Amino acid sequence: MPPKKTMKPKAPSAESKQIRGGASQVKGNGGETHQQANPADVPLTTNQGLPISDNQNSLRAGERGPTLLEDFILREKITHFDHERTPERIVHARGAGAHGYFQPYRSMKAVTKAAFLSDPAVKTPVFVRFSTVAGERGSPDLARDVRGFAVKFYTSEGNFDLVGNNIPVFFIQDALKFPDIIHSVKAEPDRGFPQAASAHDTFWDFISLMPESMHMIMWVMSDRAIPRSFRMMEGFGIHTFRLVNEAGKTQFVKFHWRPKLGNSSVMWDEAVKINGADADFHRRDLWEAIAAGDFPEYEFGLQIFDEAMAERFEFDVLDATKVIPEELVPVQMVGKMVLDRNPDNFFAETEQVAFCPSHLVPGLDFSEDPLLQGRLFSYLDTQLSRLGGPNFHQLPINRPKCPFHNLQRDGIHQMEVPTGRVAYEPNSLAPDAPRESMQRGFTTSVRPMEGNPVRVRSESFSDHYSQARLFYKSITPPEQKHLANALIFELGKLETEAIRLRMLGHLQLIDRGLADTVIGALGAEGKAEKITPAKAPIDLKPSPALRLYGKFPPTLAGRKVGVLLGAGFNARVMKDVVSQIENEGAKAAIIAGKIEGEHDAQGQLHPAEMALRASPSVVFDAVVILAGPEGDKKLASDPNAVSFLMDAERHCKAVGFSGIPALSKQAGLAEQAGIVDLSGKAGVKGFIAAARTGRFWEREAEK
């Protein structure tokens, strides 16, 4: 993609530097200034002792050109980072996987020659790995974190890896900073904690000095970072890619995944309690759904646009910290992915699967996004370290399902037995040896490149606040409230006041109301650092598509309802409510004080699937409590039953009940939206309607 016509190349300036040794003023990467005591004049160097002049920008061909392989500083830094740990992944260590297939709705030959998008009759096998980013392999599932959403397509033309997240943007604009952002969020190296948490000084120190992270931090502090289930979260390719058709015409594209079950997240209080009750909550949820035949399904969407349209945007499509609002470029749903088989062996498949953004097929191509350009090197380098050598593609989970032939030989873990005397090309000794194919082979799309090798960030990347403001203005009031609470929690745990005040200064540039809420809660009135942005933010038209809630129609499908039974309960009501829950495509889990079950009003024992002490209401999407007089009295005296009901009410869930006046009084249950007496006028149907709605945020607002 040629440089934007509106931008003039410029030499590196002080604005593109992060910290200068010996200076009392610190320049943020986006141009804002901070006061800081004079650091020691110790130059940053390579491992060979070479002083580094710019640790913010990769070397590229012109301001917006591709990253150059010549950049030995980038390669050294990324290589060292990739090899820090083995065999666990440095990032995305904790994951869960599933097999399935992808099927297009219609042929997309007009825009891409990719075979897997060309024939709606063809099902392409896939393997998907969901993950958290920051935590180690043994960390809990419900940490506040980005979720990985990586899909390996085993196409007829080779493997295509779409390596994305559940958030459409990223923290940084240039891959050179990737080791820094991950080092900052990982456990602090001198103390080895916190684990799988961002509420600590090193993370916020880095973020507060990198204004390009402001958009991403809005997403990570939102409910998007604590999803209810892998089955109920969106996925994004993050970067701008290219589509190429048979005629060689190229267009830009952004990739999207939309869950059939809709979006759903938990509340922070729920996340904390779920981590204690079931640290494997997401893994278990995915496994059990597939095992039960409730196959997760996602639609595959494309945002397609050309260079002329890209030039008109108020942001740069090569900037991974920006979204393209769907109001500007609608998402076309072009196919579906169904996950219908659990792994047979967790290590052999979920742990050994190797995703690389560089794994493409004809009809797709890269953009010059500097974050993507670095990932093309980094992921392959990581697999060489993690999986022991260059033959990781021969592992069953990574092996293409189409024929593959080349002349590469030997190496550690070689599992093939190549025959013949020829291992080079061209050759005349083996006429049947594989040859390059101009007709079928991958060809890089034609695009002009110009410019001198420079370490500089394009001016078109310099607006760090407008889209952060756009996201906050676009989400619903409950989401805004939760985002503010997350910031209060995270910033309130910092030991260093200067970092907290610097971050508050950024919030003032994003939204005054948000900043005032956080400042007031922290008692920092009048203390926020004044930050001057490199480019003044502008108000963009809100994008409802960025919301988590209200995007999908109400549904109970795929959810889980906890049905707590007390002695003497009405069996007819229980059977009716369970039947209607299952008719909605949801699962009813029968809970009792003891795992053996509970007796109904006629004295018949009904087996339980779960014991109350091991089944807090936080692991369910809605709850029902049924009991007779004896059972009600016993439940009211049981702290587990009281907290079961209190938490369900506090977390704004639908609650159905019958015959529990004592328990209701003990738990402080009041007549509110979503609280349904099953014996009353609304009855079971009223509860089902409430459970479809999911949350009743007006109950939270009243507190």
Which residues are tagged catalytic? 92, 165
Q: How far is CA 654 from CA 645, 657, 659, 676, in A?
A: 11, 10, 17, 8
Residue 585, sorted as left (phi over 0), alpha (psi -120 to 50) or beta, turns out to be left
CB atoms within 10 A of CB 41: 9
What does DSSP assign to residue 530? P
Residue 103 in 3-state DSSP? Answer: strand
119's tokens: 């024939």
Please check whether residue 506 is in contact with residue 211, taking contact to mean a CB–CB distance below 8 angstroms: yes
77's tokens: 């830094």
> Based on C-alpha coordinates, what's the Rg of the chain?
27
516's tokens: 């005032």
Sign of the Cα torsion 512, 516, 522, 528 reads positive
Burial of 670 (0-12, 13-18, 19+ CB in 10 A): exposed
139's tokens: 């960390």
Residue 335 in 3-state DSSP? Answer: strand
Please check whether residue 174 is in contact with residue 56, taking contact to mean a CB–CB distance below 8 angstroms: yes
Contacts by 490-496, CB closer than 8 A, 24 or more apart: 490/198, 490/199, 490/204, 490/221, 491/204, 491/518, 491/522, 492/521, 492/522, 493/199, 493/200, 494/199, 494/200, 494/201, 494/204, 495/201, 496/201, 496/205
297 Cβ contact list (under 8 Å, min separation 6): 259, 260, 261, 336, 337, 338, 339
What does DSSP assign to residue 541? P
